[in-house]
Amino acid sequence: MILTSTQDIPDKKITKTFGLVKGNTIRARNIGRDIIAALKNLVGGEIEEYTKLLAQSREQAMDRMIAAAEELGANGIVGIRFSTSYIMQSAAEIMVYGTAVMVEDS
């Protein structure tokens, strides 16, 4: 599967467009991570626990988007974008979306 945030793929020709595909996940923080984050907030710096949580969430959303594109018979996704929204105080949705396409060498 070829993935890109651009609308085209160099040296490839889009032969078919399947339409929008998306993947999402909703993740909640947990008390252990919140305690560590509060302590890190006192001294500053990156909060690795949240960085890892968000990275895992993005990967899961990407996997779901790719699966949706594969079900349509696509071999590429163009115009990929991410979106994040809060569902409640301690939970957020990570969504990724793009256009599923069939590409071949030009």
Q: What is the C-alpha radius of gyration for the chain, rounded to an integer number of angstroms? A: 17
DSSP track, 76-88: EEEEEEEEEEEEE
User: Mind listing the domains of the chain with CATH numbers?
Assistant: 2-105 (3.30.110.70)
User: Each residue of 37-96: pLDDT tens digit?
Assistant: 666 666 667 777 778 888 999 999 999 999 999 999 999 999 999 999 988 877 889 999
pTM of the model: 0.84
Residue 24, C-beta contacts closer than 8 angstroms, at least 6 positions apart: 61, 64, 93, 94, 95, 96
Spatial separation of the C-alpha atoms in residues 41 and 30, rounded to whole Å: 16
Higher-scoring residue by pLDDT: 35, 97:
97
Helix (H) or strand (E) holding 50: helix 48-72
Res 5 pLDDT > 90: yes
Spatial separation of the C-alpha atoms in residues 39 and 34, rounded to whole Å: 9
